[in-house]
Amino acid sequence: METELTLRIDGQDHHLTIDTRTTLLDALRERIGNTSAKKGCDHGQCGACTVLTDGRRTLSCLTLAVTQGGAEITTAEGLGQDGGLHPVQQAFIDHDAFQCGYCTPGQVCSAVGMLAEYADGWPSAVTEPGTTAELDHDEIAERMSGNLCRCGAYANIVPAVQAAAPRREGTNAGGAR
Amino acid sequence: MTEMLEHQAIGRGPARRDGVRKVTGTAPYAYEHPVENPAFCHPVQSTVGRGRITAIDTSAALALDGVLAVLTPDDAERLANTDDAELAVLQTHEVAFRGQIIGAAVAETSEVARQAADLVAVTYDQAPHDVVLSDSRDDLYRPDAVNGGFPTDSNEGDIEAALAAAEVTVTQTYTTAMYHQNPLEPHTTTARSEDGVLTLWDSTQGVHPVRKAVAKVLGLEPDAVHVVCPYVGGAFGSKGQLKANTVLAAMAARAVPGRSVRLALTRQQMFDVAGYRTPTIQHVTLAANRDGTLTGIAHDVVEQTARIKEFAEQTAVSTRSLYAAPNRRTSHRLAALDVGVPSWMRAPGECPGMFGTEVAMDELAQELGMDPVELRVVNDTEIDPDSGKPFSSRNLVACLREGAQRFGWADRDPAPRSRREGNQLVGTGVASSVYPVYRMPKSTATVRFSGGRYVAEIGAADLGTGTWTSLAQIAADALGADLASVEVRIGDTRYPEASVAGGSSGMTTWGSAVVEAARAFRAKFGADPSDGDEVEAAVQANPATDDYAMFAFGAHFVEARVDADTGEVRVPRMLGVFAAGKIINARLARSQFLGGMTMGLSMALHETSVMDPRFGHVVNHDLAEYHITANADVGEIDVGWLDEHDPHVNAMGSKGIGEIGIVGAAAAVSNAVHHATGVRVRELPITLDKLLG
Ligand code: FES
Ligand code: FES
Tens-place pLDDT, residues B408-429: 999 899 999 999 999 999 999 9
For CA atoms B640, B643, B648, B652, give the dihedral sign.
positive
| Of B257, B273, B289, the domain-final residue | B273
Residue A177 clears pLDDT 70, i.e. is over it: no
Q: Which of B110, B234, B634 sits opposite A150 (nearest CB)?
A: B234
Residue A172 clears pLDDT 50, i.e. is over it: no
Helix (H) or strand (E) holding A17: strand A12-19
Shortest CA gap A173–chain B (Å): 22
Chain Cα centroid distance, residue A171? 26
Is B26 a member of any domain? no
Q: Which atom from ligand 1 is nearest to the alpha carbon of A148? A: 4
For B293-307, give one letter per residue: b (16+ CB within 10 A) or e: bbbbbbbbbbbbbbb
pLDDT the model gives residue A45: 98
Residues 576-595 of B with CB under 8 A from A: 587-588, 590-592, 594-595
| Catalytic-residue membership of B659 | yes
**Residue B363 binned pLDDT confidence (cut-offs 50, 70, 90):** very high
**Residue A175 binned pLDDT confidence (cut-offs 50, 70, 90):** very low
Residues 423-442 of B with CB under 8 A from A: none
- The residue of chain A with its CA nearest to that of B626 is A45
Shortest CA gap A176–chain B (Å): 26
Residue B121 dihedral angles phi and psi, to the nearest 5°: -100, 125
| Of B252, B273, B294, the domain-final residue | B273
pLDDT the model gives residue A81: 86
Chain Cα centroid distance, residue B407? 28
Shortest CA gap B8–chain A (Å): 21
Burial of B60 (0-12, 13-18, 19+ CB in 10 A): middle
Q: Chain A contacts of B232, Cβ < 8 Å?
A: 100
Inter-chain CB proximity B16 and A96 less than 8 Å: yes
Q: What is the pLDDT of residues B69-128, one digit of tens each?
A: 999 999 999 999 999 999 999 999 999 999 999 999 999 999 999 999 999 999 999 999
Mean pLDDT value of segment B582-609: 98
Q: Chain A contacts of B590, Cβ < 8 Å?
A: 96
Q: Which atom from ligand 1 is nearest to the alpha carbon of A47? A: 3
Q: Is B25 on the interface with A (CB under 8 A)?
A: yes
Cα first-last separation, chain A:
39
Is B21 a member of any domain? no
Contact B529, B542 (CB under 8 A): no
**Same domain (yes/no): B335, B206:** no
Is B6 a member of any domain? no
- Which of B23, B40, B574 to probe the A interface (max A CBs under 10 A)? B23
Question: Residue B415: which residues within 8 A CB-CB, separation 6 or more?
Answer: none
pLDDT the model gives residue A132: 80
**Same domain (yes/no): B412, B328:** yes
Q: What is the pLDDT of residues B538-570, one digit of tens each?
A: 999 999 999 999 999 999 999 999 999 999 999
State in Å: Cα B509 to ligand 1 middle: 36
- Name the β-bridge partners of B644: none
Q: Rounded CA gap, B602 and B181, in Å?
A: 11
**Residue B1 binned pLDDT confidence (cut-offs 50, 70, 90):** low
**Same domain (yes/no): B558, B688:** yes
Q: Which of B23, B29, B637 sits opposite A92 (nearest CB)?
A: B23
What is A2-78's CATH superfamily? Beta-grasp domain (3.10.20.30)
CB atoms within 10 A of CB B550: 25
Task: Calculate ∠ Cα A40-B600-B334, nearest 5°.
Answer: 90
Q: Rounded CA gap, B279 and B132, in Å?
A: 10
Q: Is B658 on the interface with A (CB under 8 A)?
A: no
State in Å: Cα A164 to ligand 1 middle: 24
| Of B484, B516, B541, the domain-final residue | B541
**Residue A171 binned pLDDT confidence (cut-offs 50, 70, 90):** very low
pLDDT the model gives residue A176: 34
**Residue A174 binned pLDDT confidence (cut-offs 50, 70, 90):** very low
> A80 in ligand 1 pocket by Cβ < 6 Å?
no
Residues 431-490 of B with CB under 8 A from A: 463-466
Q: What is the pLDDT of residues B186-222, one digit of tens each?
A: 999 999 999 999 999 999 999 999 999 999 999 999 9
Give me the CATH number covering residue B56: 3.30.365.10
Looking at this protein, which amino acid is placed at residue B85? A
pLDDT the model gives residue A167: 73
Inter-chain CB proximity A102 and B110 less than 8 Å: no
Among all bound ligands, the one having the nearest atom to the CA of A160 is 2
Question: Residue A81: which residues within 8 A CB-CB, separation 6 or more?
Answer: none
Is B114 a member of any domain? yes
pTM > 0.95? yes
**Same domain (yes/no): B577, B674:** yes
**Same domain (yes/no): B150, B219:** no
Going along B462-616, which residue ranges are E strands?
A: 486-489, 534-538, 551-563, 569-579, 611-612
**Same domain (yes/no): B106, B175:** no
Q: Which residues line ligand 2 (CB under 6 A)?
A: A 98-104, 149-151, 153; B 184, 234, 464
Is B19 a member of any domain? no
How many structural domains comprise chain B?
A: 3
Q: What is the pLDDT of residues A119-149, one digit of tens each?
A: 999 999 999 988 887 999 999 999 999 999 9
Q: Is A22 helix (H, G, I), strand (E, B) or coil?
A: coil
Among all bound ligands, the one having the nearest atom to the CA of A37 is 1
* Percentage with pLDDT > 70 across chain A: 94
**Same domain (yes/no): B331, B410:** yes
Inter-chain CB proximity B592 and A99 less than 8 Å: yes
Q: Rounded CA gap, A50 and B617, in Å?
A: 30
- The residue of chain B with its CA nearest to that of A144 is B631
The stretches of A56-143 forming alpha helices (DSSP H) are: 87-94, 104-119, 137-143
Contact B372, B361 (CB under 8 A): yes
Is B154 a member of any domain? yes
State in Å: Cα A148 to ligand 2 middle: 8
**Same domain (yes/no): B515, B582:** no
The stretches of B10-99 forming alpha helices (DSSP H) are: 19-24, 59-63
**Same domain (yes/no): B500, B512:** yes
**Same domain (yes/no): B431, B446:** no
C-alpha radius of gyration, chain B, whole number: 26
Enumerate the domain spans of chain A. 2-78, 87-164
pLDDT the model gives residue B94: 98
Structure ipTM over 0.95, yes or no: yes
**Same domain (yes/no): B195, B332:** no
Q: Chain A contacts of B264, Cβ < 8 Å?
A: 39
- Count residue pairs from A and B with Cβ separation < 8 A: 191
Is B281 a member of any domain? yes
Residue A77 dihedral angles phi and psi, to the nearest 5°: -65, -30
Q: What is the pLDDT of residues B603-650, one digit of tens each?
A: 999 999 999 999 999 999 999 999 999 999 999 999 999 999 999 999
Q: Chain B contacts of A145, Cβ < 8 Å?
A: 630-632
Q: Rounded CA gap, B246 and B225, in Å?
A: 13
Contact B323, B379 (CB under 8 A): yes
Is B453 a member of any domain? yes
Residues in chain B: 693
- Which residue, judged by its Cα, is nearest atom 3 of ligand 1? A44
Q: Chain B contacts of A81, Cβ < 8 Å?
A: none
Counting ligand 1 atoms within 8 A of each CB, the residue from A24, A28, A36, A61 with the most, and so the one to mutate, is: A61
CATH code: domain A87-164 is 1.10.150.120
Q: Chain B contacts of A137, Cβ < 8 Å?
A: 635-636
What is the extent of the structural domain holding B509? 440-541
**Same domain (yes/no): B651, B680:** yes
Contact B106, B40 (CB under 8 A): yes
Among all bound ligands, the one having the nearest atom to the CA of A107 is 2
Inter-chain CB proximity A102 and B183 less than 8 Å: yes
